[in-house]
Amino acid sequence: MSQGNVETLRSFYEGLNTTGEAPAERFHPDVEIRMFEGSPIPGPYRGLDGLRRWREDSFDVLEDGRLLLEEVITGDDPDVIVVTNRFVGRMRHTRLIADFPLTVVVRFRDGLIVLFEGYRERAEALTAAGVRE
């Protein structure tokens, strides 16, 4: 496990949830964000401009939207982390509570996040990342 990568990841969540913006300094310029098939925001979002669009597409529909980090799973490759999260908040137009689980494979390059790849199922993400528990 790369403790530096885990700290970078936690810093991203903290920055996002504190300021509402994804801290660009935590991301590689070639970052790519992809969500699962059927997601309302599947992507791919590429580069730092794509990161900003992902943040807007994901959070502009939520009041007090946050991405809560629940679990960090590491394997043999220090540049691959699987995380379980929850998108939480209140839908702007309906006022309904939002609480959506999401598992993400996070890949790093040069100590920066270079890929966020979302999965519906935790087991699917673990398989994609080559991580065994």
Distance in angstroms (rounded) separating the CA atoms of residues 31 and 41: 16
pLDDT at position 64 is: 86
At the top level of CATH, the class of 3-129 is alpha beta
List average pLDDT for each run of 10 residues in the chain, which is 133 residues long: 88 92 94 90 92 88 89 94 94 90 96 95 94 82
Every domain of the chain and the residues it spans: 3-129
Q: Which residues of 70-85 are buried (b: 16+ CB within 10 A; e: fewer)?
A: eeebbeeeeebbbbbb
pTM for the model stands at 0.91
Cis peptide before 23 (omega within 30 of 0): no
pLDDT at position 59 is: 80
